[in-house]
Structure 1
Amino acid sequence: MSQSSTHLPSFPGRFVLFLLLGLLAGHAGAATRAWLDRDRIALGETVTLNIETDATASASPDYAPLETEFGLSGHTSRRGNRRSLFAVALKPRRDGVLTVPAIRVGNERTSPLSLVVTPADDRPVAGAGEDVFIESGPDHSRPYVQQSVGWVVRLYAAVPIVTGTLDQPIPDGVAFQRVGNDAQYSRTMGGRRYQVIERRYMLIPEHSGELRVPGATFEGRSAASFFDDMFGGRRGNRLQAQAPAHALQVQSIPADAPQPWLPLHDLQLRYRANPSGLRQGHAATLTIEALADGATATQMPELELPPIDGVQVFAERPQIDETFVDGRPRVKLTRSFSLVPDRAGEVQLSGVRMDWWDVAAGQTRSATLPALSWTVRADAGDALAKMAPTTDASAPTPVVSPRPSDRIEVPASADDGNARYWAAAAALFAMLWLATLLWGLHRRQPMATAKARAATVDGVAVRPDPSVLRQALDMGSFEDVAEALCAMAQPPVATVDAVIVRLDDPAQRQAVEAMQRARWAGGDGPGARDQLRTAFVHGPRWKAVVEPEASPLPPLYPRE
């Protein structure tokens, strides 16, 4: 069996020094900042405040603001060429939610931090009173199959440790891995002050039944005493400790559990960002956050939105924040979605729902978000296009002359100069309006382009360019796609049903049917558009049209 083991250097001096070196290397690119090695402790324990800065080499943190709420000890520092790292142990004077105030370092200040201090833990711990002992255990003694179980190992030492090895044997039939870095703090029990190294693991059972987890072990040596130095023995006393084994009763997945199987202690969903309105053809961002107590990111299903009719949804990569709180894993998933409406009017998101299994209550629960609705504003280009009169380009433009009775003669006057001025201004305004109109017509959806390209030349139908269909699939509405397909058929057809009959590719027929369901039966609009893009990537494939055989008789009326 493989083991999880660590050789411990001189404790606490060398351990703290190596920890500081690692943190200094890992955060070399950060500005002046402060963080705690734990954000939740019990009264009587200590927590380490770390401060990293790029201030001048002579600058040191001003710890005076901490003395009101905390006792300070164990000051350490490590200065590099560009950055310095300071650490101090804080012992809260009371329980509750405490604020670690901002600390000044030279001309810079850190941000305040929050620390949860629970009442003192007076429960008896096996081995308390010994020089060295180990405490270990799970956060849940009756987990389910595939449930994430937090496993914590704490090494207590009342004497300085020179070197040592802490091992946690790995049981069979589980996924077992170490989580995060070791936490170091002090705690008083039975009148003795102990230095504690806390190590966290995550255990995921793979089978139901009894699971026996062996206890962690420690072997090491303490610092040499006065008598060891006197008689030349500098090796110190040998130290040994072993935690008792634990038996977990793993439960099978309930028959009525929701799928995908998601065993948790708690799950919360919330909207982090919600657009106040949408605009046709423009992207807006909707952000959702999921907080799961008792799982890692790999166990969580993807955050997804249900289809929104008339809106294309583009999901971004989720942001993941994993922590270890109260002896078990927690994860925060944040994902943003770009919403791009393809039509004006009212649109609605039916809401988001995620089912999960409450491991404490043994029942199904659901985390839900309320439905959202927006009013999509029309694009300015489309609004101008709707204002433009529709005319037949092939028809001659009629010339309308006013009747004689409609003519009005205006005599010249002294205000003729002003009249010419206002006439010029009106003409300029008309020219600007015409330019805006042409710009709006240029930005119209591909429907107008499809109609124009599906025109006739000398009475002969001209098939539209294939780019018209690609443009409609990328930017237009389903109506644009339907008109492009109808015009591209040879000869052109009048209905989408006729298009389906004429198409030779089954995948293309299915894609058009999916589009029709999205148009008229509340189907999946974004899914239908993706299906259309995939099916028509190389253009439509039409069935061969059988031309009528030429008659052997000459035409009754020869062509001129």
Structure 2
Amino acid sequence: MIPTTTPLRRFAMQAMTLVLLALVSLAAPAQVRAWVDRDRIAMGETVTLNIETTAATVSEPDYAPLLTDFFLSGHTSRREFVRSGGRNMARTLYAVALRPRRDGVVTVPPLYVGSQRTQPIMLTVAPSAAPSSSRAGADVFIESEADDDDPYVQQSVGWVVRLYSATPLVSGQLDQAPPDGASLQRVGDDAQYQRDLGGRRYSVVERRFLLVPERSGPLVIPPAHFEGRGAGGFFDDLLGNRGGALAADAAPRSLQVRPVPPNAPQPWLPLQNLQLRYQSTPQELRAGTAATLVVEAVADGATAAQMPELQLPTIDGAQVFAEPVQADERFVDGRPRVKLTRRFSVVPARAGSARLGGMEMTWWDVRAGAERTASLPQLNWNVLPAPAGGAATATAPTPVPSASTSIVGNAAPAQSVIDFGGANRIWILAALLFAALWLFTLVWGLHRGDTRAGAVRAEPLPSDAPPAAGTDLKRLIDRGDFGDVADALCAMARPPVRDLDALRGRLDDATQREAIDALQRARWGGGNAVAARELLRRAFAGGPRWRAVAAEATPPLPPLYPRARPEKRG
């Protein structure tokens, strides 16, 4: 029997929720940020401007500065309560559709949301595009395109499917089947905007995919398909017809996949562009003191899973400790782009001179069909003696100016909505805290009384089912971190094993054991990460193949006490 909630308990829970939200709004400073769903559009298209604020007192953004360069439409807003960073907070999201009045580089100006202000956003507007489909003018049609029609094997290709609809859609489903000989994975959320084609206004749904060819030769991509229903007009509603059926298919497309060139560098890394830079460098080094150095790599035409790890060259007389890589993946100009950032702590062991050799990363330029090398300059320091007392400290890094500026998703500095002064704030926080503790005690007492009354609590049953394999494992091998791949494989064993060495001993297939060795080399020994992923993908396509479990061995020592013998009677 499940106990019913009493009115007193409901009141106590609601009051405690309000008090906790008040505490959160006082303790956590409000933040506001703005971003657009696309940073490059064509003249006549719309782009969605999103504004998010965590302020307790919400006021609608002031859209007046936008009217100079944009036409505005489609204002929406929603408010929700979320849990982030271990705290509950209220979040409000505003969205508005912007249609530029001119082409070129247009700035979305800063907007005020109450007392807070968003950051400016740069938007590139291309001249009006001509209708790219012969079916422009139809009620609904589909376009599909790749960012490269003749890619290389294992090159990341951006595949975009656009659904055009001149009539409002009530329901529908857009499908894109994967081709044979390549992996196809959906990337990000759908982008929705307006576009003028053939004298008609279309609503466009743009869906992005990541296409990775696995073998050379012709690659036929199945056409995308749409089925749905459109909204009916006045006479349709009068006659009982709620909208006509709509269907569309994209035109068939094929790509010509090129093989890996015989003179290509290894590991094989086909890209559109690659840039390396020091995001920050330590101003000085001191023996026994940790200094921070941050390296950034921006790859155009790849995902984080395809990139080799960022590793610093060896520094004589110093230890280097690397933090996990931070990856920021986006879809720009119809193809993937990733920014990798990694922080290193450099700890010199002695005073004197220290030199960091320039980091290098070799890649293949798919547009020029040539080998390229991205590199960083070497750094030299004069290491100072250890401070008196030998206490290790951290040296603040010196920011390195960047040639490019981030234009999407800039967050404004944190600001507080309500500014209480000194002692008053302390007393208010203390009063709210005591009120919250009192309400918590009240609810706990009520809950304890209901428990004594005989409420039965259901306990979840333990599960012995193995973790999901197949598609999940393939996706993890394609895009996951090598550490996550190792953890997933170890968890698939029954019983689970602690490390890859134990897993290797449990596998019965030689190819799978070889794939585990390649994974170990790529993870720790500087092996070929791309080749390791390919070997793992082939070896574990059908799941792990385990050895038969041996019978329980006889214990090497006799039992401490002899077994009792049955007594003889008679």
For structure 1, the residue ranges without an aligned partner over 5 or more in a row are 1-27, 384-526, 528-560
**Alignment-derived partner of residue 340 in structure 1:** 347
**Alignment-derived partner of residue 301 in structure 2:** 294
Distance in 1 (CA, whole Å) between partners of 2:387 and 2:78 is 61
Does structure 2 retain, via aligned residues, the 8 Å contact 1:62–1:105?
A: yes
Change (3 A) 1:326 1:128: same
Cα displacement (A) at 1:243: 0.4
**Match among 183, 187, 209 for residue 201 of structure 1:** 209
**Alignment-derived partner of residue 164 in structure 1:** 172
Deviations 1:373-413 (CA, angstroms, capped at 9, x unpaired): 11011124499xxxxxxxxxxxxxxxxxxxxxxxxxxxxxx
Q: Which residues in structure 2 correspond to 1:155-554 (within 5 Å)?
A: 155-234=163-242, 236-381=243-388
Q: Rg bigger for which structure?
A: 1
Distance in 2 (CA, whole Å) between partners of 1:30 and 1:224 is 45
Distance in 2 (CA, whole Å) between partners of 1:78 and 1:380 is 55
Does structure 1 retain, via aligned residues, the 8 Å contact 2:30–2:56?
A: no
Match for 1:51: what amino acid? I
Cα displacement (A) at 1:340: 0.8
Distance in 2 (CA, whole Å) between partners of 1:100 and 1:353 is 37
Distance in 2 (CA, whole Å) between partners of 1:111 and 1:307 is 40
**Alignment-derived partner of residue 31 in structure 1:** 31
Distance in 2 (CA, whole Å) between partners of 1:80 and 1:331 is 30
**Alignment-derived partner of residue 538 in structure 1:** none
Cα displacement (A) at 1:38: 1.2
Distance in 2 (CA, whole Å) between partners of 1:29 and 1:250 is 52
**Alignment-derived partner of residue 107 in structure 1:** 115
**Match among 150, 161, 171 for residue 153 of structure 1:** 161
Match for 1:42: what amino acid? A
Does structure 2 retain, via aligned residues, the 8 Å contact 1:55–1:105?
A: no
User: When the two structures are superposed, what TM-score results if normalisation uses the length of structure 2?
Assistant: 0.60
Cα displacement (A) at 1:120: 1.9
Match for 1:146: what amino acid? Q
User: When the two structures are superposed, what TM-score results if normalisation uses the length of structure 1?
Assistant: 0.61
Change (3 A) 1:211 1:337: same
Distance in 2 (CA, whole Å) between partners of 1:29 and 1:183 is 31
Is residue 47 of structure 2 the alignment partner of residue 47 of structure 1? yes
Deviations 1:512-559 (CA, angstroms, capped at 9, x unpaired): xxxxxxxxxxxxxxx9xxxxxxxxxxxxxxxxxxxxxxxxxxxxxxxx
**Alignment-derived partner of residue 72 in structure 1:** 72
Distance in 2 (CA, whole Å) between partners of 1:29 and 1:276 is 32
Change (3 A) 1:378 1:112: same
Change (3 A) 1:55 1:280: closer
Cα displacement (A) at 1:80: 4.3
Is residue 96 of structure 2 the alignment partner of residue 88 of structure 1? yes
Distance in 1 (CA, whole Å) between partners of 2:383 and 2:79 is 57
Does structure 2 retain, via aligned residues, the 8 Å contact 1:144–1:208?
A: yes
Match for 2:108: what amino acid? V
Q: 34-43 or 162-171: which moved more?
A: 34-43
Distance in 2 (CA, whole Å) between partners of 1:47 and 1:363 is 37
The DSSP-based 3-state class of the residue aligned with 2:235 is: helix
**Match among 123, 128, 135 for residue 136 of structure 2:** 128
Does structure 1 retain, via aligned residues, the 8 Å contact 2:30–2:55?
A: no
Does structure 2 retain, via aligned residues, the 8 Å contact 1:65–1:103?
A: yes
Deviations 1:259-290 (CA, angstroms, capped at 9, x unpaired): 11000000000011111211111111111100
Does structure 1 retain, via aligned residues, the 8 Å contact 2:31–2:55?
A: no
Percent sequence identity is 62
- Paired residues, number: 356
Q: 210-219 or 82-91: which moved more?
A: 82-91
Distance in 1 (CA, whole Å) between partners of 2:165 and 2:127 is 22
Does structure 2 retain, via aligned residues, the 8 Å contact 1:57–1:79?
A: no
Match for 2:121: what amino acid? L
Deviations 1:193-247 (CA, angstroms, capped at 9, x unpaired): 101000000000111111100110111111012221221222x111111101111
Distance in 1 (CA, whole Å) between partners of 2:295 and 2:58 is 45
Change (3 A) 1:210 1:193: same
Deviations 1:270-319 (CA, angstroms, capped at 9, x unpaired): 01111121111111111110000000000000001111111111111111
Does structure 1 retain, via aligned residues, the 8 Å contact 2:360–2:375?
A: yes
For structure 2, the residue ranges without an aligned partner over 5 or more in a row are 1-27, 82-89, 391-524, 526-570
Distance in 1 (CA, whole Å) between partners of 2:235 and 2:30 is 47
Change (3 A) 1:362 1:56: same
Distance in 1 (CA, whole Å) between partners of 2:266 and 2:46 is 43
Match for 1:373: what amino acid? N
Match for 2:297: what amino acid? A
User: RCO (CA 8 Å, sep 6+): is it higher in 1 or 2?
Assistant: 2
**Alignment-derived partner of residue 481 in structure 1:** none
**Alignment-derived partner of residue 512 in structure 1:** none
